[in-house]
Structure 1
């Protein structure tokens, strides 16, 4: 898994507008991708409410301590992103500093009616990787929407299984999800490294193990 991640980082397509971001392909070995897709979590109901993920905090799923103990793929996934080999390469390839940060991994399962308003991730997040894992051909137009500093829609990331969007949060990294039809479940894994100010410690992969270099 580490070797595959490093290769995807090295081959990432860099884009400068409206802010620095990268498109990645072939992020995970196929068996790991299939194992993540097979995790037995039901997509939570939206109950007519969307616009921000935090509106559904009670039903969000993380690769946390409990799920690492239950599912080997969650443990392996987190071990890879916690490794100094991967974090060192992230720092060099994407020009960020992860020292003292904590890994947070969320499995997102979005259904019809889901949307996200433009937001930046600025604050306690030092790195964002949106890893798309759905294999449904009908999901090819379900990529992340990208906006300029005035929140004007300018682009949409490709959406295909094992591809990803990466950016380092700043005050202009506006992204979201425009309302549109979702057939089935749009699945993705959200990988963040967050500062020690992150309050929900139970969401973290290794709450007592900050990244150290």
Structure 2
């Protein structure tokens, strides 16, 4: 038996494009899209099987920047070591996939760089309301949470006054997309996590992104032709 099962990046790309084409757009309190069945089953299995322990953080200040040293990004080394990382990175680096994302979300993806983070939150983790920095052109959060309470672990959404107005469902293999802006307030209110809150954040970032070690292809900007 081969485990995790083999993964074809072209199949991942086609699966993702179908999900994006069926995305539901909502303009309140800011423009975002809800997607389902983002990844094929083999890719979900491959990511969940990664030998990456959830970081034991203890008390945090509500930001991810306080523990940069133990965050997990899909870097060139991760691509080389794990087929799931390589397949997903290759799929979202493809011109046809990047073009569809840019057209759907109405932003210029040409020349940007792919950044992917695998996040495993345990009980005590939380995120204060924030909006992404301008260097992020595109943000997508994909939920890979398991357990009876997992659907309640979605991203919290706030209005321009930072009042909690909605929460995304963390249904397995679903996602939320938004284009970062000053009004795109989001976070994760403190609540009980039984198990591990697994998710991925995927960004296309500007060439000015300083933390090159976080990028999937540090020397390969997105090209649409």
Alignment match, 2:222? 211
What is the Cα deviation at residue 13 of structure 1? 1.0
Aligned to 2:42, which of 19, 31, 51?
31
Alignment partner of 1:171 is 2:143: no
3-state SS, counterpart of residue 49 of structure 1: coil
In structure 1, what is the Cα distance between the partners aligned to 2:160 and 2:59? 29
In structure 2, what is the Cα distance between the partners aligned to 1:122 and 1:39? 29
In structure 2, what is the Cα distance between the partners aligned to 1:54 and 1:122? 12
Question: Which runs of no fewer than 5 residues in structure 1 stay unpaired?
Answer: none
Q: Is the 8 A contact 2:143 2:173 kept in 1?
A: yes
Question: Which runs of no fewer than 5 residues in structure 2 stay unpaired?
Answer: 1-11
Aligned residues: 213
In structure 1, what is the Cα distance between the partners aligned to 2:109 and 2:128? 27
Q: TM-score, normalised by structure 1?
A: 0.98
Please give the residue correspondences for 1:63-142 in structure 2 after superposition, counting only pairs within 5 Å. 63-142=74-153
3-state SS, counterpart of residue 164 of structure 1: strand
Q: TM-score, normalised by structure 2?
A: 0.93
In structure 1, what is the Cα distance between the partners aligned to 2:144 and 2:32? 19
What is the Cα deviation at residue 100 of structure 1? 1.1
3-state SS, counterpart of residue 165 of structure 2: strand
In structure 2, what is the Cα distance between the partners aligned to 1:136 and 1:4? 25
Cα RMSD of the aligned pairs, angstroms, is 0.8
